[in-house]
Structure formats: structure tokens, C-alpha cells
Amino acid sequence: MTDTLPPGFAPLSTERLTLRPFRAEDAADLHRLINDWEVCRALAAVPYPYSRDLADDWITSTRASIADGRAYHVAITGHEAEKEVVIGGAGLRIDPAARTARLGYWVGRRYWGHGVASEAAGRLARWGMANLDLTRLEATVATDNPGSIAVLRRIGFRHVGEGMETFQARGGEHRVLRFEATRDDLFGHAAPERQEGVAKPILIVAACALVDLDGRVLLARRPEGKTMAGLWEFPGGKLIAGETPEAALIRELKEELGIDVATACLAPLFFASHAYDRFHLLMPLYVCRRWQGTPHGQEGQALAWVHKDRLAEYPMPEADRPLVPLLRDFL
């Protein structure tokens, strides 16, 4: 589903940092920070010494890889005396066939011990899982790098094995620990297992299949910060007390997409009934072919108009999946 990948990389912010594409003028700072034995020895693909020409070539290559969606290698920047400074780098290298990405990161030695790596790597990992077509993130770290091992555990990665990897700066193979993280690891899931004998509450969520003149259906991607971030779903939301499903959809579609829908344009079609760990979801699905305005992601969520025959290609929450073949046959 490469058509859902972003065309570039908008800068990401944290409390203290900005992650943005490298610029040509970053080469001197990049070279100064990474041409350090203590930094290079921890990075498998980086030689030592690290020349200035390598810094220039690397920056050029990162911009090309972002442009075609092969990888997202970005600068970690902060501020000193109100001036932006490069303090490290982070990246995701994409394997589209496996729907995985490999996470890497480094920070200049003078910035060690300040939580920079965790803040930056965690932000990029969450962005990647929420915005790219991925099911899993992977990372490896040398066994003699306890600081980086702690970073991966801190941001939600799990230790899944060991292996050997060639480190250019060290001139040979070295033992590494292998880590991975799924969507649940980074964002959590619906809820922990309920206690036996305790009834699950019923949660009613109204959803809508907006169908355009070409017969395509609008899907919205759950944004970073929400449970199940990165999965695609039919727009809609929870009913509030005393609200009908139709009223909830009219409100939610206005809030989420910026469109106006009349009750008469909402036709009930199917419903989903799904047991999550701590609640039971009941989700009526409506179809709507007429509305006012152009749908836009009002909450920063990505949108996709999808032909009915391609709906199954988009990863969805468990409750939405059974509705796809029913909707496809209806349309």
C-alpha cells in the first residue's frame, strides 16, 4: 500500500527536540558529532574515522530515500542559546514486503545521559507505526551497549533473540541483542484481561461508510497517541449519553472530517459485535452518499478513498474487519 505513504517528512516535535530531514548545511555538525570512536563503535554501518565527504554524501542520500519512501533518516535537533543545533540522528529503514522497519539512532557524546535518545527514538518509532504501512519495528544493539539496550526497553521494544552483526568501525562481527515492537507495544491495546465473572460493559460506536461518486469508500487512519494507532477504520465515534447513533455520526463527522451530514442521508446497513478484553463493542455501520463540504482530517489523521475491492488491503481493528466483505458485496 505504498500509495498511503506520506510524500515526505514533516518535522516531528517533542518537549525538547525536533526531528527533521537533514540539510546540506548540517554536514559540518554531523561530521563533528559522529566522527567519535565512542559513537561509531556502537553503530554497525558507520566506519571510523568518519570523513567529511561521507557526511555530505549521507545527507544527500537521506533526502533521496525520504523522497521515495525507502527510509526516513532524520536529524535530531535541539536549541542552545535560542539557536537550533544538531545533536544526533535517527532513522527507519523500510522493508515494504515484510511490512517492517528497522529503527536506528545515535546522539553526540556531549548529549549522553539526558534522555535525548529515548525521546527522539520513541517519537520516531511511534510516528512510523502510526503513519507507515508497518506491522512491526525491529532493532539490534551490541551486547556491550547497555545505554542503548535501556533506550529500546524504555520506549516499548521487547528482547526477542540474539545474533551476530558486522560493525564497520570495529572491523568484524560482534554479538547483538535483537528487539522488536508491535503496535500494541508502542500504543497499548484495548485493555488488560477482565476478571472472571465480571460482566463486560456494552460500548456503542456508530460508524459510517462515506461513498463518493466513483464508488470509493473513505477510511481514516487512527493517529499517533490513540490505541491501535496506524490502523484504518470507518469514520465515527462513541455515543454520548442520550444520543442516537445518527446524532452521534452527524457530530463525529463534523468534528473529525469537517463535513455536514443530514439524518436523511444516513442509511443503516450492517453492524459489528465484537468482544474486546474489558468491553463488548456494538458498532452499527451506516452508508452515506451525500454530504456538504470536503472531508479533511481535522485531528491530523490520514484519509484514503479506497475502491471496494481494495478495502481488505488496509489493516483494520478486529471489529471493523467483518464489515468489509459485507460492504464490498453491497456496493
Do 167 and 293 reside in the same domain of the chain?
no
pLDDT of residue 140: 97
The string of pLDDT tens digits covering residues 277-305 is 778 989 999 999 999 999 999 988 999 99
The range of the structural domain enclosing residue 6 comes to 2-187
Domains in the chain, number? 2
Do the domain assignments include residue 241?
yes
Residue 6 has pLDDT above 60, yes or no: no
Q: Domain check: are 206 and 230 in the same one?
A: yes
Indicate if 35 and 169 belong to the same structural domain.
yes
CATH number at residue 306: 3.90.79.10
Q: Three-state SS across 208-248? A: EEEECCCCCEEEEECCCCCCCCCCEECCEEECCCCCCHHHH
Tell me how far apart the alpha carbons of residues 87 and 33 are, in angstroms, rounded to a whole number.
7
Longest dimension (CA), the chain: 70
Which grid cell sits at 328? 464490498
Residues 135 and 179 in one domain: yes
Does 67 share its domain with 137? yes
- The reply to whether 129 and 25 lie within a common domain is yes
Residues 120 and 231 in one domain: no
pLDDT of residue 198: 53
Residue 197 lies in a domain: no
Dist CA 145 CA 43 (whole Å): 10
Q: How confident is the model at residue 189 (pLDDT cuts 50, 70, 90)?
A: low
Compute the mean pLDDT over every residue in the chain, rounded to the nearest whole number.
Answer: 91
Please determine, for residue 308, whether its predicted confidence score (pLDDT) is greater than 50.
yes
- pLDDT over 60 (residue 36): yes
Q: Assess if residue 195 is contained within a domain.
A: no
* Dist CA 292 CA 172 (whole Å): 63
Q: What is the pLDDT of residues 197-222, one digit of tens each?
A: 456 788 899 999 999 999 999 999 99
Question: pTM to 2 decimals?
Answer: 0.81
Asked if residue 41 and residue 90 are part of one domain, the reply reads yes
Tell me the CATH number at 69. Answer: 3.40.630.30
Cα–Cα distance, 314 to 4 (Å, whole number): 10
